[in-house]
């Protein structure tokens, strides 16, 4: 179902006047024009995550590490980005992704719906919700794609194509009766009926028959939309598709999230880089111009467990995906943005010497030339990487070089909590390509919407019935 779209500026006057909005006063658009935009989001990729991943990648190449750079650190334009939600000092991914997709500072936990407007959530889906990038892109004839290493219905990818008063509405079985009775739809169903042209990620369980109690699965709903609507469920079936023929592709490669990069079976599980390449191949072949969002969704999950090893290795994989995207696109026509939705309470601390293994015990070489662990106030060694809060399964017998550098080691924490939390500090936005000149200064992440729609010159796009 198509709907008539007002310009984003006009709609923000209707829907966003009570909220802090960056849509209300658009600048005259003298931004250089981009044909395509690729937005990479490292979920939870704090500044400290980037620093530690840079050192990790450098050390794995035989360097001391600190002097190394991740691929996107070579981008010419950089900004500091504020991440608060309308009602939260420390944000969640639903509020932050909604801000990037609508240009509005939105509430925690909801997908593209403003606090106080929950009752209108389902009405918003079809009539009066904030205009999203995908709406303007579609109205302007552009194609749209999503890639995520998390479930494709998880908060960050959902904000590209869905409206939901709760990010928890991923599956039919997650829907409260009251929400269903007024016509709300689960996020998975919203995806298979959306304008997204290619969606690759995890979360298959939300699309299968048993999830809906219906004879028709959401995968069937997708493939029944037309002959060119195809489905892939593993690495092999994705490779078998003719991606450059403009097929409409749904790819669901795991029941829930995709495995962490280091845990994946290469024959079965596509990597983030491979999924990014597949999406770009499909979208470039259409020659319409496109908006592609790529999420490294599991950096966040590793951090929540205080497992620095997997947070860093998934960040290194994101950097590889960005490099691949840069090489696969024309720098004169493609704006590439790399950012995080929010930070984590992850720190690099304690005066280790230059080149000290980033995952290791903090060590320094003394006057006698011996490399010795530094000690805490109790005389115990400690790791360079740690967290302000989290499970803190501290076992002093594990404070050895081998134990702390093992894949499953969980870092020490200060405040004991079941799950480590997000942080409220700023994140970085990196940009290259047409329109990236506006990636400078300090602003709320809602402005990323403005940078994207102005670079694509789709702010005033209107759907023609």
User: For Zn ion, which is the closer residue by CB, 300 or 454?
Assistant: 300
- In the numeric block, which tokens belong to residue 285? 């072949």
Least separation in angstroms between residue 345's CB and Zn ion is 11
Report which residue's Cβ sits closest to Zn ion. Answer: 300
User: For Zn ion, which is the closer residue by CB, 156 or 455?
Assistant: 156
Least separation in angstroms between residue 304's CB and Zn ion is 6
Least separation in angstroms between residue 243's CB and Zn ion is 31
User: For Zn ion, which is the closer residue by CB, 53 or 280?
Assistant: 53
CA distance 138 to 144: 8
The yes-or-no answer on residue 93 being catalytic is: yes
Least separation in angstroms between residue 456's CB and Zn ion is 29
Q: Which residues contact 74 (CB under 8 A, 6 or more apart)?
A: none
CA distance 107 to 126: 20
- In the numeric block, which tokens belong to residue 406? 């093992």
Residue 231 CA to its chain's centroid (Å): 23
Residue 205, classed as helix, strand or coil, is helix
Q: 22: burial class by Cβ within 10 Å (0-12, 13-18, 19+)?
A: buried
Cα–Cα nearest to 34, from 353, 372, 282, 336: 336
User: For Zn ion, which is the closer residue by CB, 423 or 436?
Assistant: 423
User: For Zn ion, which is the closer residue by CB, 212 or 261?
Assistant: 261
Least separation in angstroms between residue 94's CB and Zn ion is 10
Helix residue spans in 218-271 (DSSP H): 218-223, 235-240
Cα–Cα nearest to 45, from 336, 343, 411: 343
DSSP of 71-138: GGGG-SEEEEEE--BTTBSS--HHHHHHHHHHSB---TT-BS--TT-GGGHHHIIIIISPP-HHHHHH
Residue pair 356/374 in contact (Cβ under 8 Å)? The answer is no
Q: Phi/psi of residue 231, each to 5°?
A: -135, 140
User: For Zn ion, which is the closer residue by CB, 238 or 312?
Assistant: 312
User: For Zn ion, which is the closer residue by CB, 135 or 300?
Assistant: 300
Residue among 12, 21, 48, 93 flagged as catalytic: 93
Least separation in angstroms between residue 294's CB and Zn ion is 17
Binding site for Zn ion (CB under 5 A): 300
Cα–Cα nearest to 248, from 273, 222, 209: 222
Residue pair 456/137 in contact (Cβ under 8 Å)? The answer is yes
Least separation in angstroms between residue 282's CB and Zn ion is 29
- In the numeric block, which tokens belong to residue 373? 């662990």
* Per-residue three-class SS string for 203-270: CHHHCCHHHHCCCCCHHHHHHCCCCCEEEECCHHHHHHCCHHHCCEEEEECCCCCCCCHHHCCCCCCC
Which residues carry out catalysis? 93
């Amino acid at each position: 179902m198509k709907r008539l779209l007002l310009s984003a500026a006009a709609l923000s006057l209707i829907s966003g006047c009570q909220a802090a909005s960056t849509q209300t006063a658009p600048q005259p658009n003298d931004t250089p024009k981009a044909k395509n935009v690729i937005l990479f989001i490292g979920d939870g990729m704090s500044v400290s995550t980037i620093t530690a991943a840079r050192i990790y990648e450098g050390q794995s190449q035989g360097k001391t590490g600190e002097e190394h750079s991740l691929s996107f650190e070579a981008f010419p334009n950089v900004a500091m980005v504020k991440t608060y939600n309308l009602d939260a000092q420390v944000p969640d991914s639903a509020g932050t992704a909604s801000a990037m997709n609508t240009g509005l500072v939105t509430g925690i936990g909801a997908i593209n719906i403003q606090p106080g407007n929950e009752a209108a959530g389902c009405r918003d889906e079809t009539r009066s919700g904030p205009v999203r990038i995908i709406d303007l892109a579609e109205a302007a004839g552009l194609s749209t794609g999503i890639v995520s290493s998390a479930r494709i219905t998880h908060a960050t990818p959902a904000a590209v194509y869905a409206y939901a008063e709760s990010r928890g509405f991923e599956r039919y079985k997650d829907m409260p009766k009251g929400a269903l009775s007024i016509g709300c739809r689960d996020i998975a169903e919203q995806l298979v009926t959306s304008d997204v042209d290619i969606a690759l990620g995890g979360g298959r369980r939300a699309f299968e028959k048993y999830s809906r109690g219906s004879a028709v699965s959401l995968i069937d709903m997708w493939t029944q939309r037309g002959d060119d609507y195809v489905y892939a469920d593993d690495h092999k079936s994705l490779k078998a598709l003719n991606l450059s023929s403009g097929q409409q592709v749904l790819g669901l490669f795991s029941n829930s999230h995709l495995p962490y990069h280091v845990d994946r079976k290469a024959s079965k599980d596509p990597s983030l880089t491979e999924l990014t390449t597949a999406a770009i191949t499909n979208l470039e072949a259409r020659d319409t111009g496109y908006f592609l969002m790529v999420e490294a969704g599991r950096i966040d999950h590793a951090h929540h467990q205080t497992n620095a090893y997997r947070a860093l290795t998934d960040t290194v994989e994101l950097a590889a995906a960005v490099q691949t995207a840069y090489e696969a696109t024309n720098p004169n026509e493609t704006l590439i943005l790399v950012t995080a939705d929010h930070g984590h309470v992850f720190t690099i601390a304690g005066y280790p010497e230059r080149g000290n293994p980033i995952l290791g015990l903090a060590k320094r070489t003394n006057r006698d030339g011996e490399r010795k662990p530094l000690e805490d106030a109790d005389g115990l060694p400690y790791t360079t990487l740690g967290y302000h809060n989290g499970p803190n399964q501290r076992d002093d017998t594990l404070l050895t070089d081998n134990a702390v550098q093992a894949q499953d080691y969980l870092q020490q924490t200060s405040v004991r909590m079941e799950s480590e939390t997000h942080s409220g500090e700023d994140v970085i936005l990196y940009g290259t390509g047409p329109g990236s000149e506006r990636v400078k200064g300090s602003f709320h992440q809602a402005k990323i919407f403005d940078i994207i729609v102005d670079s694509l010159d789709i702010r005033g796009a209107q759907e023609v019935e």
